[in-house]
Amino acid sequence: MEPLSDNEKKSSINFSPKVNDTSNINNSLTLNENSNNKINKNETSKNELKDVQSSTTYSNEDLVDKATVDYSQALEDFILNYEEQGVKVYLRKKEEVEKRKAKSFYINWNHLYTWFEQHKNEYPLNLALELLEDPLELLKSISGWVYDLFARGKEPLQLSEYGKTVDKPDFHVRITDIPRKLEMRKIGTQFIQVGKLVEIKGVVFSKTLPKPKLIKGHYRHLRSDCLGEFDFPNTEIEELEITPKHCPLCGKTGEIVLISERSVYTSWQKVVIQETTEELPPGEVPRQLELELLDDLVDTVKIGDKIDVVGVLMAKPKPKNVNGALISDFYIKVNSIRVLESTVTDFEISEEDEQRIRELAKRQDIVDVIIKSIAPSIYGHEFEKEGIALALFGGVPSVRKDGTRRRGDIHVLIIGDPGTAKSQLLQFVKNLIPRSIFVDGKNATGVGLSGTVVIDPDTKEWRIEGGAIALADGGFLLIDEFDKIPEEERSRINTAMEQQIVKLDKANQHFELDARTTVIAVANPRYIRYIEDRTVAENISFKPDILSRFDLISVVIDKHDEEQDRKLAEHISNNELGTEEAGNSVIDTDTLRKYVIYARKYIKPKFTKEALDTLKEFFVTIRNKTKDLTDFPLEITTRQYEALLRISQAYAKMRLSNQVEQQDVERAIKFVSEMLRRFKADIETGVTQDMMNKMIRILDLIDSFRNSPINDGCAKFGDILLNAEEQYGMDDDTVTRIINLLREKGQIREVKENCYKPA
């Protein structure tokens, strides 16, 4: 093929920069990452190639000086002719890029390596190998060659939203799936030289706001005997902005100013990633690494995303040295990004998986089977396991008419005595759900939970750091020892739990992060152990505002029962021997995980009118029965009605039903009624069990005056107050309320002013 003419080199395609369009990467350009092509290097064994993952360099003694090599013809042949299963992969991608007017073209490293090996007689130098060792210069050259290929006969391109039209705009070839994989914890210990192409995984922890980065500055020398204008530098610079000290036209110093409107900029952003939970050793603090994003990579990830990054390992000198030695921080100059996980549902379900899931859903007892499959190694706690199952499947989020959204996530709080396996339930969810974050309340802070805004040490501008609830966006936040978090710190996640947005305000700067997160928290009672002769409100250390954010609340009491203790010991022994319950009654963890993901992703059940009417009637009843309970810790509001909707939808999703039926709402009503009963609230009487006990005592006290000759056998109000305080330690307000309740329910009558008898 003839080399490109000067006119062809000056032409371009009309690619529109899409700085904020993540689909530019995820949909249009990502290639098949599951290629089965084998890598066979000429005169190099497979083991030598595998060493690329951990070695500093890959030696090619037979290669000539790379600076003299022009790969443009070979690269063009690769793009136009590389095939997989009869399909010219990159020719098709080229057409997609031209159609979408994208600014980046993605190439799978394995494809490139394989093609060069297959054509080594024509092209003896393997470009893929050279990319690993000299990525900075080669990536620029490759991008230029591919741009020239795409640009033939096209109009000039607007470089970016910050700059001007130029002959050679920013067009990027981006590489994916390279063999040199790094672990964040081993950076600095693995002998990897700076300037090599590497691949690394991590979770996005923080990011700066996008800002313009100077690519080529246009300057004016203000010295009177010069007044010349010039461009500087001629190549991309690493700093955000730099001013030359000498004028290249006259060679003299003097005031030199940047002419912004005639300079060329691109978008820039710093992102910080940290180790994934899978890579983090127990008890260790996550390591972090900075990423530099340019142009159309900017704003393609959000806090909490698990990403795979290919880029050039760079070193940034610290302002201060240590003992006279220059110390540097590592960072990655990013070439490509692939989002691995953004929500729980970002996992592929195969056709075989779907068939297995659909078969399971046909079981009449599928809801009970799912509940039994929650932490089967833990004995008992059926009610708590059912609550966790409901949280795993969740409801269906919706948008109200006023534009606000109703969450679909079901939040769960389990309060119980120490040693009741609360934390183990959390661990089960953590192991089941890939996108979940575990937080120990003893070490948690409000900032750690919600996030903060800090000054970036390099840019001196605001940088957003995500807290746990934002990092778990689209997944689960699991909080152990929730009661150990100070009240003022807990309150920071109130808004996030309900509105699913974290609001961060600092120095008149206002930011919002998504927090579409399911929260499952466990806590101890106020007095370490639950004291049964005290009210539920007295045993719980949480205020109503935080309790109201939880759809399901359970109290677990460690009661000493010989028969139950024997069954518990037997269950633990069976687990130890490997003879625990199995078979058709329990779904294995891997299948359950896929079942949950499938239901959350594809099942969006809608209510029948009959089902909604039943729920409405139940809500009105419990709201009316509990509205006057002063010692009841749960305030029944419209939030609880929305919780009923979510719970009903979750039961339908367990059945993989797209319709919420009567059986689902009846099960939801039964579950919520049991929750209230555990809070010692009787829906029929409208009082708590604690209050009922006090009412009985006051009624007995009034009855004790029946045979008294004083006041014709009626109990005077003052005498009731005095005896109730002396015998039962009740305060005057409690006694007054109980007397009013007894009168309302017809248990006593006022025979004369402030004097009462049993009815």
Q: If you write DSSP's letter for every residue of 357-373 in order, what string do you get?
A: HHHHHT-TTHHHHHHHT
User: What pLDDT band is residue 327 in, cutting at 50, 70 and 90?
Assistant: low
Average pLDDT value over all residues in the chain: 79
CB 737 within 8 A of CB 630: yes
Q: What is the pLDDT of residue 487?
A: 80
Question: Greater confidence, 353 or 102?
Answer: 353
The model's pLDDT over 713-727, given as tens digits with 9 standing for 90+, comes to 788 888 888 888 888
Q: What amino acid is encoded at 261 in this protein?
A: E
Question: Which of 352-356, 438-442, 454-458, 563-567 comes out lowest in average pLDDT?
Answer: 563-567
Question: Greater confidence, 333 or 705?
Answer: 333
Question: Which of 362-371, 397-406, 643-652 comes out lowest in average pLDDT?
Answer: 397-406
Q: What is the pLDDT of residue 132?
A: 93
Q: Kind and range of the H or E element at 330? A: strand 328-341
Question: Greater confidence, 293 or 69?
Answer: 293
Q: Is the pLDDT of residue 443 over 60?
A: yes
Question: Phi/psi of residue 553, each to 5°?
Answer: -130, 130
Question: Greater confidence, 390 or 123?
Answer: 390
Question: Which of 50-54, 318-322, 602-606 comes out lowest in average pLDDT?
Answer: 50-54
Longest dimension (CA), the chain: 123
CB 534 within 8 A of CB 400: no
Q: Which residues of 8-20 are buried (b: 16+ CB within 10 A; e: fewer)?
A: ebebbbebebbbe
Average pLDDT of the segment spanning 551-562:
77
User: What pLDDT band is residue 20 in, cutting at 50, 70 and 90?
Assistant: very low
Q: Which residues of 141-156 are buried (b: 16+ CB within 10 A; e: fewer)?
A: bbbbbbbbbbbeeeeb
The model's pLDDT over 228-284, given as tens digits with 9 standing for 90+, comes to 998 887 555 444 456 788 898 998 888 999 888 888 888 889 999 998 877 777 767
Residue 128 burial (10 A CB sphere; 0-12, 13-18, 19+): buried
Torsion, Cα of 510, 485, 533, 626 (10° steps): 10
Question: Which of 35-44, 102-111, 506-515 comes out lowest in average pLDDT?
Answer: 35-44
Residue 221 burial (10 A CB sphere; 0-12, 13-18, 19+): buried
Neighbours of 665 (CB within 10 A): 27
Q: Which residue ranges form the domains of the chain, and what is each CATH number?
A: 71-176 (3.30.1640.10), 182-341 (2.40.50.140), 351-573+585-685 (3.40.50.300), 689-758 (1.10.10.10)
The model's pLDDT over 39-53, given as tens digits with 9 standing for 90+, comes to 333 333 334 444 444
Which residue in this structure is represented by tokens 């809500």? 619
Question: Greater confidence, 561 or 340?
Answer: 340
Q: Is the pLDDT of residue 461 over 70?
A: yes
**Closest listed residue to residue 44, CA positions, set 60, 27, 55, 68:** 60
Q: What is the pLDDT of residue 391?
A: 96
Q: Is the pLDDT of residue 216 over 70?
A: yes
How many Å separate Cα 205 from the centre of its chain? 10
CB 82 within 8 A of CB 32: no
Q: What is the pLDDT of residue 115?
A: 92
Residue 378's SS3 state is coil
Tokens of 80: 């136009």
Task: Calculate Rg over the CA atoms of the chain.
Answer: 34
DSSP type of residue 484: G
E strand map for 441-593: 451-455, 462-466, 476-480, 501-506, 509-514, 518-523, 552-556
The model's pLDDT over 521-542, given as tens digits with 9 standing for 90+, comes to 998 888 777 776 666 667 777 8
Neighbours of 528 (CB within 10 A): 10
pTM of the model: 0.70
Question: Greater confidence, 160 or 288?
Answer: 288
| Whole-number Cα distances in Å, 491 to 52, 447, 486, 496 | 49, 11, 9, 10
Q: Please measure the distance between the N-terminal and C-terminal CA atoms of the chain and give it in whole angstroms.
A: 108
Angle between helices 638-654 and 662-678 (to 10 degrees): 130
Q: What is the pLDDT of residue 325?
A: 52
**Closest listed residue to residue 178, CA positions, set 83, 270, 297, 313:** 313
Give the C-alpha separation, 634 to 548, whole Å.
7
Q: If you write DSSP's letter for every residue of 73-102 in order, what string do you get?
A: HHHHHHHHH-EETTEEHHHHHHHHHHHHT-
Neighbours of 721 (CB within 10 A): 16
Question: Greater confidence, 568 or 235?
Answer: 568
User: What pLDDT band is residue 683 in, cutting at 50, 70 and 90?
Assistant: very low
Q: What is the pLDDT of residue 632?
A: 59
Q: Which residues of 387-426 are buried (b: 16+ CB within 10 A; e: fewer)?
A: bbbbbbbbbbeeeeeeeeeebbbbbbbbbbbeebbbbebb
Give the C-alpha separation, 444 to 490, whole Å.
9
Q: What percent of the chain has pLDDT over 90?
A: 28
| Whole-number Cα distances in Å, 275 to 188, 204, 287, 308, 456 | 15, 9, 6, 12, 20
User: What pLDDT band is residue 572 in, cutting at 50, 70 and 90?
Assistant: low
Give the C-alpha separation, 521 to 481, whole Å.
8
Is the Cα torsion angle 743, 749, 754, 756 positive or negative in sign? Answer: negative
Tokens of 612: 């909604």
Q: Is the pLDDT of residue 126 over 50?
A: yes
Average pLDDT of the segment spanning 452-471:
82
Does a cis peptide bond (omega within 30 degrees of 0) precede residue 248?
no
Helix (H) and strand (E) counts in the chain = 26, 33
Q: Is the pLDDT of residue 746 over 80?
A: no
